[in-house]
Amino acid sequence: MATRKTALIIGASRGLGLALAEEYCGRDYQVTATVRAPSKALDDLAARFPVSLEIETVDTTEPASVKALKQRLGNRIIDTLLVNAGICLARENTPIDADVNDFVAMMVTNALSPMRVVETFEDQVPPRGIIAVMSSELGSIAANRGFWELYSASKAALNMLMKCFSQRHPGDPRAMLLIAPGWVRTEMGGSQAILSIEESIPAVVTAVEARAGKPGLKFMSRHGDSLPW
């Protein structure tokens, strides 16, 4: 009997992460989805998929919390590791007037912590597995149009750290992905965003799945197209 594929989705209490958990459950994965605090929406999803969905707890910015999750999960195989957790603060500010604490929080949450999660769990991702992190079109330096500056800087930093990770793993057979989901109506994206969650996440998962067995790092759109760095 074929074993079901597994996915670990970090940051699934709401928004895109919650939708990712639903999409992977719908595709018959065995899903572990994490929250920082109880999420009724994810609890409701677990009630719909009692066999497929397991809820775990982690705060990516707390090393002890990440380590504890690692211990609880043991050596299980993770076919798709997808780090989705992120924040957006001070979006209208520029370097001259931004609160330093907001900038630091974004750099820690959006750049450093996702890569620490990747470093912590990558040994459980098999050769045909996928190591993916939620980036953003705004992380592209080449395509920058000068808004949400500090958030954009944190996603550019994430892209650089993922690039460094891939360079430190020459010949690694696994797919490594930086995903840009499009501008989506979530708490972060806001009501003006152009895409619904349903217009983004199923496409994201299809594009991610299509990379299985394809080594190397790709910064890609929800359609799987390469984006300019």
Ligand X SMILES: NC(=O)c1ccc[n+]([C@@H]2O[C@H](COP(=O)([O-])OP(=O)(O)OC[C@H]3O[C@@H](n4cnc5c(N)ncnc54)[C@H](OP(=O)(O)O)[C@@H]3O)[C@@H](O)[C@H]2O)c1
**Residues numbered 122-181 forming contacts with ligand X, rule: CB under 6 A:** 134, 136, 181
State the CB neighbour count (10 A cutoff) for residue 138.
Answer: 21
Residue 79 as a binder of ligand X (CB under 6 A): the answer is no
Residues 208, 200: contact at Cβ < 8 Å? no
15 binds ligand X, rule: CB under 6 A: yes
Q: Yes or no: say if 116 and 165 are a contact pair by the CB < 8 Å rule.
A: no
Task: Give min distance, CB of 136 to ligand X, in A.
Answer: 4
Nearer to ligand X, 87 or 212 (CB): 87
Question: Of these, 8, 25, 46, 85, which contacts ligand X (CB under 6 A)?
Answer: 85
Element (H, E) at 163: helix 149-167
Only segment of 23-31, 85-93, 164-172, 216-224 that touches ligand X (CB under 6 A):
85-93
Tokens of 190: 């806001």
Q: Which stretch binds ligand X (CB under 6 A): 25-33, 55-63, 141-149, 218-226?
A: 55-63
Give the Cα separation of 112 and 158 in Å (integer): 7
Quote the least distance from Cβ 186 to ligand X, whole Å: 3
Give ∠ CA 133-225-79 in degrees, rounded to 5.
40
Q: What is the dihedral of CA 162, 163, 167, 169, to 10 degrees?
A: 30
Selected binder of ligand X within 7, 9, 11, 22 (CB under 6 A): 11
d(CA 217, CA 222): 15
Among 174, 186, 208, 219, binds ligand X (CB under 6 A): 186
Binding site for ligand X (CB under 6 A): 11, 13-17, 36-37, 59-61, 84-87, 109, 134, 136, 181, 183-184, 186-189, 193
